[in-house]
Amino acid sequence: MTTLQNFSSYPPFFRPNQGVVNGQHSLENSTEFDSDSSPQSEQLPIIDFEALDRAHLSEVCREWGMFRLTNHGVSAELLSQLHDHANKLFSQDFESKEGIPSTPMLYFWGNPALTMSANAHQKGPRADNHHNWLEGLNVSLTNISQSYCQDPLLESFRCLLEEYVGHQTRLAKTIFSDMGEDLGLPPAKSRSYLSPPTGIIRVYRYLRCPAADRRWGIHDHTDSSVLSIIHQDQVGGLQVFKNNQWMDVEPIHDTLIVNLGDMMQAMSDDKYVSVRHRVKVNRVKERVSIGYFVFPAEDGVIESSNYKPFTYADFKARNELDLKILGAKIGLPRFRKEQSV
């Protein structure tokens, strides 16, 4: 954990008295927002992977869009090693992390990269309001097995991630297969609707923030994925929106969090929920999470009665444009048949 005396691992923007945008410190003159300081705490539904019950899975996907996965077969040792390596990488000086080669890992900060673009650092007068208190590594899985990192720590981390991705792909395929059968998706469509080679890993470190009531780790959003599988450390912060209120998703050792993304909601014709969630920051503790995100094939056409036919490539391009022009993701409403935003 970074101490009060050592902020060299933090991007300069987030260091005390150094985060300056247009002459103002990043925390000056900011107004408090509704952070729901006392959210409800309710247990997420639990799905036992070893005894997968399709009826229960269907109910959870329709009502929650997020669940806790147990008996998933990912060893506690592997999860511990991943977080240990992530902490070592993030504790390096900022300048060292800036020098990480972009293949297969892209270092970014200040932007959750919900739709990853080449430039993860937002510039300009609105940057202060859009910076999130995080840094991260975006890892493309397309060529992770063929990649090699010269730095021993990075190479060790890459090897661990490669092993982890094998588990995540196994989990995603099995869960999606049951979802597809529940929804009656044609087998040919199912093959293009989940494409493991499109997957990415994002490793986030949420930074200590002295004004935690005025800043977010990640703002309220939905994922663009089919499925997202998250492993979080024991520092809380993840929240899910359910029954018109925010609820804490408490860390439970050796469990994974699975949530459905926009692509799954579109494929299901809105029967399943692309769940809204966000991450709070902490005044005294950092938080590390490792997320696996899997998408459809880029050119696979998603067809449903509620949406105009579109590919994931179309969806991603539209999101990138909205982020560039509006500074926000619009997402699925862009493709609804009954309206055009």
Rounded Cα distance between 2 and 130, Å, is: 23
Q: Say if CB 328 and CB 322 are below 8 A apart.
A: yes
Of residues 329 and 160, more confidently modeled? 160
Residue 36, both tokens? 């729901």
Q: Say if CB 104 and CB 140 are below 8 A apart.
A: yes
Q: What is the pLDDT of residues 95-146, one digit of tens each?
A: 999 999 888 899 999 975 544 433 344 333 334 456 899 999 999 998 888 8
Is it the case that residue 92 has pLDDT exceeding 90?
yes
Task: Specify the residue for token string 């492993």.
Answer: 231
Rounded Cα distance between 69 and 81, Å, is: 20
Q: Say if CB 8 and CB 96 are below 8 A apart.
A: no
The fold of 40-303 is Jelly Rolls (2.60.120)
Rounded Cα distance between 341 and 333, Å, is: 7
pLDDT on residue 326? 87
Residue type, 110: G
The neighbouring-strand residues paired with 301 are: 311
Q: Say if CB 233 and CB 289 are below 8 A apart.
A: yes
pLDDT band at 93 (very low <50, low <70, confident <90, very high): very high
Residue 68, both tokens? 């806790």
pTM: 0.88
Report CA-CA distances (Å) from 99 to 126, 158, 159, 206, 284: 26, 16, 20, 20, 28
Q: What stretch of H or E contains 166?
A: helix 152-183
Among 33-37, 96-100, 187-191, 326-330, name the one with the lowest average pLDDT: 33-37
